Amino acid sequence: MTVRSLHLPVAAQPSVDSFVELAALGERYGYEYAWLPETWGRDAVTVLTAIARETDEIGLGSSIVNVYSRSPALLGQTMTTLQEVADGRLRAGIAPSGPAVIEGWHGVEFERPLRRTREYLEIMRAVMSGETVNYDGDIFSLSGFRLRCDPPSEPVPIDAAGMGPKSVELAGRFADGWHAIVFTPEGLENRLEDLRRGAELGDRAPEDVRVTLSVTACALENGARARRLARQHLAFYVGAMGTYYRKSLARQGYEEAATEIAAAWANGEHDRAVERIPDAMLDDLGAAGTPERARKELRKFERIDGVDDVAIGFPRGADRDEIDATIEALAPER
């Protein structure tokens, strides 16, 4: 059975308390997880700690923290501590992110992202086991240390995010779950084949790798407003966030539209970039419109065999009332 979760806003919020309130609202409405992204706003660790202190049941997770700005040992320590604070409700989501963030914001060369992700997975698990860590990888070598506290009583599952065939295969082979974003139903099914192949290479059952799909959603009585917000959000990701999303959409049959959106955005024609998103593309990638329409669109993702969790995300331009309305309209029991 597919569960429904929250992918908390990537856009700036007024305060840490705003994130806590949204997660608490999600808990009240029965959402399974509150996933928190980390880009160049508030850090995920502090916010997740605050959420853990003010909630009791909803699962908590990072989706995602990158594998360049913190060492793998530090991430292992961090997730150990967060699991303690969260009373066993944590899942850790990691991924390379992309060159725009890693090089432009963190000032670190974006190199060997897949190998780096694999080594993070292995080192984090070693750290969180509580045993002495001895690791000799292509990128990292560690020896002689172990946690100076008890390891998590409830092991922390580590998920990996990715869009390309090789990154998804890596998640299937080495991670406890895969996080997907900006996928059409058909495109997701294609990548699920890569996930299954990775699981087989790792001598694992594909169903043991938990699949979380983040879907941009906006459910408002003013359906036109909801769809406009979703279009603006998609145009930003295709136009401003490097080539990853554009290449992914090209693989999914939207190469011409993605190229036009990116070109318009690069020329400063943001309104034109938004207008280049056809209705079919918008519906293929999200769930936006009136509450009735958004619920219908969301179900097409939940019906995909192999998807365990559909996490609703929110357009960057949505205000707090619009986010709250969407959370209520798309609550799991509805």
The residues that bridge with 90 in the sheet, in sequence order, are: 60
Q: Where are the beta strands (DSSP E) in the chain?
A: 3-7, 33-36, 59-62, 65-66, 90-95, 133-136, 141-145, 158-161, 177-181, 210-219, 286-289, 309-313
Measure the CA angle with vertex 240, ends 329 and 180; round to 5°: 50
pLDDT tens-digit profile of 89-106?
Answer: 999 999 999 998 999 999
The whole-model pTM stands at: 0.95
Percentage of residues in the chain with pLDDT exceeding 90? 94
- Class of residue 301 by CB neighbours under 10 A (exposed 0-12, middle 13-18, buried 19+): buried
Distance (Å, rounded) from C-alpha 198 to C-alpha 206?
8
Crossing angle between the packed helical segments 255-266 and 244-251, to the nearest 10 degrees:
160
Supply the CATH classification number for the domain 3-219+288-329: 3.20.20.30
Distance (Å, rounded) from C-alpha 325 to C-alpha 323?
5
Distance (Å, rounded) from C-alpha 311 to C-alpha 309?
6
Is the pLDDT at 243 greater than 90, yes or no? no
Phi, psi of 166 (to 5 degrees): -70, -40
Is the pLDDT at 334 greater than 70, yes or no? no
Q: Please answer whether residues 46 and 85 qualify as being in contact, where contact means their C-beta atoms are separated by less than 8 angstroms.
A: no
pLDDT tens-digit profile of 275-300?
Answer: 999 999 999 999 999 999 999 999 99
Question: For the chain, what is the mean pLDDT?
Answer: 96
Model confidence band, residue 1 (pLDDT cutoffs 50, 70, 90): confident
**What separation in angstroms does the CA of 98 have from each of 104, 110, 124, 198, 329?**
10, 7, 21, 22, 33
Q: For the CA atoms of the chain, what is the radius of gyration? A: 19
Distance (Å, rounded) from C-alpha 30 to C-alpha 28?
6
User: What is the identity of the amino acid at 68?
Assistant: Y
Element (DSSP H or E) covering residue 128 = helix 113-129
Tell me which residue of 166, 179, 170 sits closest to 202, measured CA to CA.
Answer: 170
Q: Where are the domains of the chain?
A: 3-219+288-329
For residue 97, what are its two tokens?
């992110």
**What separation in angstroms does the CA of 171 have from each of 89, 196, 212?**
21, 10, 12
Candidate from 70-74, 91-95, 217-221, 259-263 with smallest mean pLDDT: 259-263
